[in-house]
């Protein structure tokens, strides 16, 4: 029921097909895509294809989603779930058009990969392998020959990581061949390669060679397949570089699997619909803070530094310093974004390296993984343990009597501590207000 309200039965739709279908598209949909997406998503794809043909032949008016509900005999929320699965896997693009009194959608069908091209896509092949197992995967792979590829309101298409989550792979296999460059496939969120480029330059590795267009596509797939942070990607790339500074794709994938196995271990990769995440909640924090947290969790560190800079672009030295610290300390990007924002707030918009390194080292030991964890720590720091001196007046076995005046003085000493606690909560409130104001200030630069 979580999809209710996303589309309405009276909303209209039209269908467009990008390019033409390969001759063996049915085999791809049935044997390769259906195990990943399920029967409802594939049925919706087939129905939209037929609707496209009827549209062309009859010049029919705009259809409503009632039509899809009747043909598929499914409620609208299940149709919406099937739709975003098709979007996430790269078989559909959705465009929304809002007019005065109605809403309509343009569904642009993307031809599926031919079977051979499907197996040459690293991400799709890996997901299918985990879904159907070695024996069936090998028989399907052997069944299909070689050859060929195909290509290409407001674009609302969900990306792979918006729709799906994957789990830790188990075991290594050799069947998946090195992928070829493809012109379509799973839509992925782009990676900002600036930090990786900086790291490779420092090691005198030719960036154009190691991070070619083809390699960038593969690295992006692996990053989202195995949920790797930037510092983990950097480690995997280091392990996979040959003496000639070529990127060994098989070694790269093995390195990514090893990194993930170390982190989570034992769980196989398998597609699953992503659960709706709750909006980050921080005590006594306004919705503006929630929005700022979401921004810090989703932008790259380079984008943040660009926003925080006086001009439009971050300085080369600042970017180099931040990337070095982030990779050295193994800090996730979203945590680094909170750290940079905090340090600039504390040091009058200066990125002081010793201060940045000191906090980064501390947060690395605390193993912060999310922007929310880091922000909670800033706004609600743990209380420091007070160094209470040993009371020598009364020890075990001691018969010494504590005078009454000493007890009274000790009781009075507790009163300032109470007031100090109240002041601390006031300080927390001020810290919250200052951080909110700071984040709002930088958010406003984008608007």
Cα–Cα dist 87/42, whole Å: 12
Give the CA dihedral 260, 262, 264, 265, nearest 10 degrees.
100
Which tens digit of pLDDT belongs to each residue from 34-88? 999 999 999 999 999 999 988 877 666 678 999 999 999 999 999 999 999 999 9
Q: How far is CA 222 from the centre of its chain?
A: 12
Span 388-410, average pLDDT: 51
Cα–Cα dist 373/339, whole Å: 11
Cβ neighbour number for residue 28 with a 10 Å cutoff: 22
Domains of the chain (ranges, CATH numbers) = 1-112 (1.10.10), 160-272 (no CATH), 287-382+434-444 (no CATH)
Cα–Cα dist 288/286, whole Å: 5
Task: Calculate what percentage of the chain has a pLDDT beyond 70.
Answer: 72
pTM, whole model, 2 decimals? 0.64
Which tens digit of pLDDT belongs to each residue from 307-360? 777 655 667 788 778 888 888 888 888 888 888 888 888 887 778 888 888 998
In sequence order, the 6+-apart residues with CB closer than 8 A to the CB of 336 are 301, 322, 325, 326, 360
Which tens digit of pLDDT belongs to each residue from 169-197? 544 444 444 444 344 678 888 887 888 88
């Amino acid at each position: 029921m979580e999809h209710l309200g996303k589309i309405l039965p009276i909303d209209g739709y039209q269908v467009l097909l990008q390019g033409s279908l390969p001759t063996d598209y049915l085999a791809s949909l049935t044997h390769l895509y259906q195990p990943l997406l399920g029967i409802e998503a594939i049925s919706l794809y087939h129905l939209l294809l037929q609707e496209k043909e009827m549209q062309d032949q009859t010049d029919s008016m705009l259809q409503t989603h009632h039509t899809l509900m009747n043909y598929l005999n499914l409620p609208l929320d299940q149709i919406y779930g099937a739709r975003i699965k098709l979007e996430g896997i790269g078989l559909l693009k959705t465009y929304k058009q809002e007019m005065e009194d109605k809403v309509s959608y343009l569904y642009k069908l993307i031809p599926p990969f031919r079977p051979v091209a499907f197996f040459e896509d690293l991400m799709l092949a890996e997901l299918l392998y985990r879904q159907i197992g070695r024996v069936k995967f090998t028989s399907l792979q052997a069944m299909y020959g070689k050859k060929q590829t195909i290509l290409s309101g407001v674009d609302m298409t969900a990306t792979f990581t918006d729709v799906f989550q994957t789990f830790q792979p188990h075991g290594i296999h050799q069947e998946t061949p090195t992928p070829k460059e493809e012109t379509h496939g799973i839509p992925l969120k782009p990676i900002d390669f600036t930090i990786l480029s900086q790291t490779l330059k420092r090691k005198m590795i030719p960036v154009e060679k190691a991070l070619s267009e083809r390699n960038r596509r593969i690295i992006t797939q692996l990053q989202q397949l195995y949920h790797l942070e930037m510092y983990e990607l950097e480690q995997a790339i280091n392990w996979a570089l040959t003496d000639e500074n070529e990127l060994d794709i098989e070694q790269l994938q093995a390195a990514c699997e090893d990194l993930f196995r170390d982190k989570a271990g034992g769980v196989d990769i398998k597609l699953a619909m992503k659960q709706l995440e709750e909006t980050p909640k921080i005590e006594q924090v306004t919705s503006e803070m929630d929005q700022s947290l979401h921004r810090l969790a989703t932008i790259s560190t380079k984008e943040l530094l660009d926003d925080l800079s006086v001009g439009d672009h971050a300085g080369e030295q600042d970017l180099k310093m931040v990337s070095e610290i982030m990779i050295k300390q193994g800090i996730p990007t979203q945590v680094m974004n909170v750290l940079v924002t905090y340090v600039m707030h504390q040091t009058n918009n200066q990125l002081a390296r010793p201060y940045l390194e000191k906090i980064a080292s501390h947060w690395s030991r605390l193993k912060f993984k999310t922007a929310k964890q880091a922000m909670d720590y800033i706004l609600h720091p743990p209380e420091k343990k007070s160094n209470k001196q040993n009371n020598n007046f009364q020890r075990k076995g001691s018969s010494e009597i504590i005078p009454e005046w000493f007890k009274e003085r000790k009781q009075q000493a507790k009163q300032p501590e109470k007031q100090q606690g109240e002041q601390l909560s006031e300080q927390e409130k001020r810290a919250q207000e200052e951080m909110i104001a700071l984040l709002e200030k930088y958010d406003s630069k984008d608007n």
